[in-house]
Amino acid sequence: MTQLPMHETLPFDEATTPPRVSTGDLPMHAEIRQLVTDAYERYRGESSGSVADYIPVLAEASPDLFGIAVVGPWGRSFEIGDVAAQFSIQSVSKPFVFALVCDTLGYEEARLRLGVNSTGFPFNSLMAVELNAERTMNPLVNAGAIATTSLAPGATAEEKWTSIRERLSMFAGRELGINAEVYASESATNMRNQGIAHLLKSYERLYFDPDEATDVYTRQCSLDVTVHDLAVMAATLANGGVNPATGETVIRPGVCRRVLAVMSSAGLYELSGDWLYQVGVPGKSGVSGGIVTVAPGKGGLATYSPPLDAAGNSIRGQLATKYLAERLGLNLFASVPAEGSPPQF
């Protein structure tokens, strides 16, 4: 597949001239609080879907757990439900590790090594690897995510793991720890990911030892988070790479918009097109029941509810996110007709 020479089309030097952005503001605090409460009450009784069981320990999660958090660009949080419940981050880690790799290699090099196009196949598809010449396709399905992890800074597996854990902790604004039970359960059942890693290695699309890269990836997915943590992480991407709770610069703005572009096209796997059509905001789901949504310049939204649909996306989370995206004005594609006289140039 021919790659467009994107580096030749930039009309400015991002390092010295930041691009113009199209952003707005969230509603007033009281309205946000009421809308978050409304979304929670509206969907807390939703009973469809099933808790993931292909990783045995995940099957132990209560299907009744449900939490919502919104964090604005100044760090203010609006939360309800099971916001203190800890769960493994799983695939929600993928865009944040991709951000780390883009920041390390440069986003053009990351695009060439990993790809940024959606596969149209399930997250753990081997067929997607075999049918596409780019093999990895994008960093948000398992093949691309393992390749992304293999590119994390560090010469050894421990150095790579340390860099990933430290950077994801910066996104969350607190030190994240690994859930040993989840890590052990995943390690005992991740033969498919090991097979994907070895397949990628045979195509020269993996950049570290396949078994060690898979192990670091498994640890990455086993980090414990809360729905508040995810909202802060999403808000950091929404805030040009600056954590709104700590004020710490985590990632460069130029990296943020590339990560959000990939989240838009592949964040909910084969249902990403439906998600963008209905919600209109970059998002990423995880098999433990978390979903993060990023509204550039406005803030981050996160939900947690373990029951999933057939594609592995939280059902309550999707419903609540769609409801809030419409009422908080998050949809990137929404617009109104211009009013008044045209400007004089």
Residue 81, domain member (yes or no) = yes
Residue 166, domain member (yes or no) = yes
User: Residue 61 maps to which CATH number?
Assistant: 3.40.710.10
Residue 13, domain member (yes or no) = no
Residue 333, domain member (yes or no) = no
Residue 100, domain member (yes or no) = yes
pLDDT at 129 over 80: no
Confidence (pLDDT) at 76: 94
SS3 sequence, 79-133?
EEECCCCCEECHHHHHHHHHHHHHHHHCHHHHHHHHCCCCCCCCCCCCHHHHHCC
- Which residues are paired to 50 by β-bridges? 308
Tell me how crowded residue 147 is: count the other CB atoms within 10 A of its CB.
28
* Segment 288-295 mean pLDDT: 97
The residue segments making up the domain with residue 81 are: 22-328
Confidence (pLDDT) at 271: 85
Mean pLDDT of the chain: 89
* Segment 172-200 mean pLDDT: 94
Confidence (pLDDT) at 1: 39
Q: Are 95 and 140 within 8 A, CB to CB?
A: yes
Q: What is the count of structural domains for the chain?
A: 1
Confidence (pLDDT) at 9: 40
pTM for the whole structure: 0.89
Q: Which of the four pLDDT bands, split at 50, 70 and 90, describes residue 137?
A: confident
Residue 56, domain member (yes or no) = yes
Residue 3, domain member (yes or no) = no
Residue 15, domain member (yes or no) = no
Q: Are 50 and 281 within 8 A, CB to CB?
A: no
pLDDT tens digits along 232-265: 999 999 999 999 999 999 998 899 999 999 999 8
